[in-house]
Amino acid sequence: QTISQPFIVALMTDLLETQPDHTVLEVGTGSGYQAAVLSSLVRQLYSIEVVEALAASAAERLGRLGYDNIEVRAGDGAKGWPEHAPYDGIIVTAAARAVPPALVEQLKTGGRLVIPVGGPGGQDLRVLEKQPDGSVKSRSVLSVMFVPLTGGEQKR
């Protein structure tokens, strides 16, 4: 529950197609490693972790190491972080059974959502891009295995 394979961290970061002026939401802070990687590529990063102890330790660690453009909180990542929306990009580091609607709603037009989708037997890493009409264009990148996204609707 703390870090994805470095190859997957790099791939998901690349798929997000970040720019220096972007604001990004990360769902699943874990140790804070993915947040640290992304923080050097974007203006502001918000990260949500469902396990309160992990959120607290990641926030402390990232602060101690001088990452001043990352804000971490404990909460249900499937609901996003609407107070700071819309986002240029959203990255999810846990597998959702289905794409959480709140995350799509919180994407800017042209924004990208990188998320593993599927059940415990395996998932597809998907890239979704929000279109001008509000619809989403989705493509599958590769098969992956992630821990499940455990917030709210995902438990049903």
Q: What is the CATH number of the domain that holds 87?
A: 3.40.50.150
- pTM equals 0.93
From CA 108, how far away is CA 104, in angstroms rounded?
Answer: 9
Please answer whether residues 112 and 128 qualify as being in contact, where contact means their C-beta atoms are separated by less than 8 angstroms: yes
- pLDDT of 23 reads 98
Per residue in 58-84, pLDDT (tens digit) is: 999 999 999 999 999 999 999 999 999
- pLDDT of 152 reads 56
Domain that holds residue 100: 6-146
Most confident of 3-17, 44-58, 140-154: 44-58
Residue 145 confidence (pLDDT) above 90: no
Q: How many domains does the chain have?
A: 1
Per residue in 84-103, pLDDT (tens digit) is: 999 999 999 999 999 999 99
In a domain, 98, yes or no: yes
From CA 103, how far away is CA 86, in angstroms rounded?
Answer: 10
In a domain, 40, yes or no: yes
In a domain, 153, yes or no: no
Residue 155 confidence (pLDDT) above 60: no
In a domain, 62, yes or no: yes
Q: Considering Cα of 121, then 79, then 93, then 56, what sign does the dihedral take?
A: negative
Verify whether residue 31 is a known catalytic residue.
no
Per residue in 8-30, pLDDT (tens digit) is: 889 999 999 999 999 999 999 99
From CA 83, how far away is CA 67, in angstroms rounded?
Answer: 21
| DSSP H helices in the chain | 6-16, 33-39, 52-64, 101-105
- pLDDT of 5 reads 75
Closest to 94 measured CA to CA, from 74, 110, 117, 73: 117
The chain-wide mean pLDDT, for the chain, equals 92
